[in-house]
Amino acid sequence: MVSSIDSSVGTERKLVSDVPGPKSRALHQRRLATVSAGLTIGFPIYVERAEGAIVVDVDGNQFLDLGSGIAVTSIGHAVPALVDAVSEQVAKFTHTCFMVTPYDSYVEVCEELAELTPGTHAKTSALFNSGAEAIENAVKIARLATKRSAVVVFEHAYHGRTNLTMALTAKNMPYKDHFGPFAPEVYRVPMSYPYRDGRSGAEAAAAAIKIIETDIGATNVAALLIEPIQGEGGFIVPAEGFLPALSAWTTANGAVFIADEIQSGFCRTGDWFAVEHEGVVPDIVATAKGLAGGMPLAGVTGRAELMNAVHEGGLGGTYGGNPVAAVAALATIKTLRDRNLAARAREIGEIAFANLRSLQHDVAIIGDVRGRGAMIAFELVEPGTKTPNAAATKEIVTFCQQNGVITLTAGTYGNVIRLLPPLVISNEQLADGLDVLGAAVRSVR
Ligand SMILES: *Cc1c(COP(=O)(O)O)cnc(C)c1O
């Protein structure tokens, strides 16, 4: 049994003002005057505190959080073990730079990553600050170790917003438009997208491999980089067999299989990592988001012979593996393990998927319900077609916000609603959130 974290703010959704309320609206005016217009304005309620699955804003409204800050506070907000670990570490020391004078928590995080990521081979890790930085470094390592340069990525992929990771990301707007020129030697191939391509995993993999071999050449490929379940792309779950076929191809052709588990990792899908579902063992795994419960930390974990091919000084960064973030990761991992939150992610999935599939029967605008464990999404379409329905998606998200529920959108066509509920969410909270979501979907005319 998993119970919700005890909460001094209560466990209920509760609105006490307009949404956004007067204090949030005032803060928003200040933001507009001083924060770059280039940042997305998601839901402008300004947060005062958060606990478990509840976010409290400056006007005293309590929102049910079904997004976890994009799978970052994946256990929940204010996890007691994490709060204690971080508070104690801040009082001890906040920074030395691991490359100047090291500390044990960094080493311990790398030990945990070696233990938790798939495969029993020898592994080493390097720690960074963000997902994009982890992906950049995974590609650096793969290129150096293979002495090749081409990187294979997929349609609908999202890997970050730095120059290399923009090149690796598929969607132009808003991520790439006019931000080029982009890094070279990045090649995009078709993804397996069962709802839209109707292909088996083997067929989709064969199509991707054919392009790799004809357009790039197998011996030029340093790495194949893939999200085992795509995040921003719309929680696209590839057909069974797709990932194993690609993994086998990389092994046979001397290329590095890099799994971007930044959104799907750390028990989100009901396993520690999404690739485990089909027994795929990546050569390198990139992690971030749920790794450290809200502290900025990312990891690159891979076969020791790849990771250690890099010359001394070739990897690093001022803050990577910061001691406060490192102890947050250790507390996160311990909590996930001790409370068996992978099993809870599966339970959350069973409840949510049953609910959403029955909703899909009742309405004409849900084309597909998909995901795994507590990585849950549905795709909105025009009734009777597969034409993306971004307008309905916006309406539903707004309805949820106005009723105190935070959800996220995704998808190349902006027509996917995704849920990444905190794993400590109670069954009552989950049912309440799904009720609001159902009402939102039914409200679309
Ligand atoms: C969020 C994300 C990234 C980028 O991580 P940042 O910490 O935002 O740089 C990369 N890959 C995936 C799959 C992500 O979800």
Mean pLDDT of the chain: 97
The number of the ligand 1 atom at minimal distance from the alpha carbon of 135 is: 10
Contact between 268 and 374 (Cβ < 8 Å): yes
The number of the ligand 1 atom at minimal distance from the alpha carbon of 263 is: 15
* Residue 241, φ and ψ in degrees, nearest 5: 100, -20
In the chain, list all ranges with CATH 3.40.640.10. 83-338
**Cβ density class 238-249: b for 16+ within 10 Å, e for less:** bbebbbbbbbeb
In this structure, the number of other CB atoms found within 10 A of the CB of residue 294 comes to 22
The number of the ligand 1 atom at minimal distance from the alpha carbon of 129 is: 7
Nearest CA to ligand 1 atom 8: 131
Give pLDDT tens digits for 381-396.
999 999 999 999 999 9
* For the chain, percent of residues with pLDDT exceeding 90: 97
Nearest CA to ligand 1 atom 10: 159
Ligand 1 mutation target, pool 263, 264, 266, most atoms within 8 A of CB: 263
If you compute the radius of gyration of the chain from its CA atoms, what whole number of angstroms results?
A: 21
- Which DSSP symbol is given to 214? I
Residue 1: pLDDT over 90: no
Give pLDDT tens digits for 161-196.
999 999 999 999 999 999 999 999 999 999 999 999
pLDDT bin (cut points 50, 70, 90) of residue 445 is confident
pLDDT mean over 88-115: 98
Contact between 152 and 223 (Cβ < 8 Å): yes
CATH of 22-75+341-443, one of 3.40.50.800, 3.90.1150.10, 1.10.3720.10, 3.30.360.10: 3.90.1150.10
> Ligand 1 pocket by C-beta < 6 Å: which residues?
130-132, 135, 158-160, 227, 231, 260, 262-263, 288-289
pLDDT mean over 186-207: 98
Residue 5: pLDDT over 60: no
Q: What is the pTM of this model?
A: 0.97
pLDDT mean over 226-230: 98
Give pLDDT, residue 7.
Answer: 57
Residue 12 CA to ligand 1 centre (angstroms)? 30
Q: How far apart are CA 405 and CA 399, in angstroms?
A: 9
Ligand 1 mutation target, pool 232, 289, 291, 408, most atoms within 8 A of CB: 289
Instruction: Please determine, looking at this structure, whether the domain spanning 83-338 carries the CATH number 3.40.640.10.
Output: yes
Give pLDDT tens digits for 267-313.
999 999 999 999 999 999 999 999 999 999 999 999 999 999 999 99
Ligand 1 mutation target, pool 133, 151, 156, 159, most atoms within 8 A of CB: 159
Residue 311 CA to ligand 1 centre (angstroms)? 26
What's the chain's length in residues? 445
In the chain, list all ranges with CATH 3.90.1150.10. 22-75+341-443
Give pLDDT, residue 9.
Answer: 79
Contact between 240 and 222 (Cβ < 8 Å): no
